[in-house]
Amino acid sequence: MRDIEGFFNENEKSSENHPDSKNMAARQLEHSNSVDQTAEQEELRSSLIAHIHATESALIHNNILLDTIILRKLPYTKAQYMVKVGRWETEVLQAQIEMLTEKGKYTLAQKDIEAGIPINVSAYSDFLEDELHSWWHRYDLAEKMYVASVGKLQKYAPLPPQESEKLDSLHSTIYRRLHPQLNPHDKYAKDTFEQARQAYRRGSLAFLESVERATVKYEYRVRQNELENLSVDELYAHLELQQAQVQSVGKRLDAIMHTEPYSLRNKLNDREWLLEQIKSLQEEAKSYREAALVYKKRFAKLASKQRG
């Protein structure tokens, strides 16, 4: 009778050397590796999708902040600057034009006298009107801006704190619900979104409250997650695009916040700073007018000599 233990040992060796056994082991190893790779891919996809959602949230937050500045804070700051400081800058511009006019008359008269030509005030005035056209154009625009700014100062004036907070909150809520990027094929959402932005610009609390009530369904609507159908490479590309958009909006915000007049928004309420700016501009305008008076006297002296 054969040894039982030896029989089984022989069978094990026989199984190990059998071709089908080797193929089965290879398939099991391949399947195990495939499962591991699939798990890694799914983990990577989940991570990418989470990053995309976080970046999208940051992008919306920055866009809301940009909207708030562009639609309400910046127009008010510009109007405030024009009324408090710009009017004195306009006075400096007017004094510069006066000085350039008197200097021009004197210079033209001096050249004519040297050439033996009689002084012609009318001709000088016509010439200087054309020569200083761009200066007068700037002055006219500044005057119109001042008049318009007086109205805008009232139009964009900050609401009482409680109403202002409510207005910003409604704007943020509606922005997150209706932004076209979140509702690419929804015309109602797009149109209502633009109407709400203009209402926010006007400070229309009642209109925004009505829009907020009418769009509650967008708060609870589950968006179709198109990201699930994208490959890993497409997810990477989508994330890079969003990150570029976040950087772009960030640069716009930084540029606005560090450029006058918005960068001066806090100083515009500082009485001492304002008095200093006004005093400096008044002195500058005075120096131009004093120079204009000097040229005017020189011209009068030339005209007097020619008559004599």
pTM for this model (two decimals): 0.75
Nearest in space to 188 (alpha carbons), one of 173, 178, 198, 200: 178
Q: What is the mean pLDDT of residues 253-259?
A: 95
How many other CB atoms sit within 10 Å of the CB of residue 292?
Answer: 19
List Cα–Cα distances, 271 to 83, 85, 159, 267, in angstroms.
Answer: 14, 12, 22, 8
Condensed to tens digits (0 to 9), the pLDDT of residues 18-73 reads: 555 555 555 555 545 555 567 888 889 889 989 998 998 899 999 999 999 999 99
**Lowest mean per-residue pLDDT among 5-14, 125-134, 162-171, 262-271:** 5-14
Question: How sure is the predictor about 7, in pLDDT bands with cuts at 50, 70 and 90?
Answer: very low
Residue among 162, 161, 265, 152 nearest 202 (CA):
152
Q: What is the pLDDT of residue 35?
A: 55
Between CA 177 and CA 77 the distance in angstroms is 29
pLDDT at 17 over 90: no
Best CA proximity match to 146, nearest among 86, 77, 73: 86
Residue 136 has pLDDT above 60, yes or no: yes
The pLDDT value given to residue 8? 43
Sequence-distant (6+) residues with CB within 8 A of 242 are 52, 55, 56, 59
Rounded distance between C-alpha atoms, residue 175 and residue 183, angstroms: 11
Give the pLDDT of residue 11.
52
Identify the residue with better confidence: 18 or 200: 200
What is the rounded radius of gyration, in angstroms, for the C-alpha atoms of the chain?
A: 38
Tens digits of residue pLDDT in 139-150: 999 999 999 999
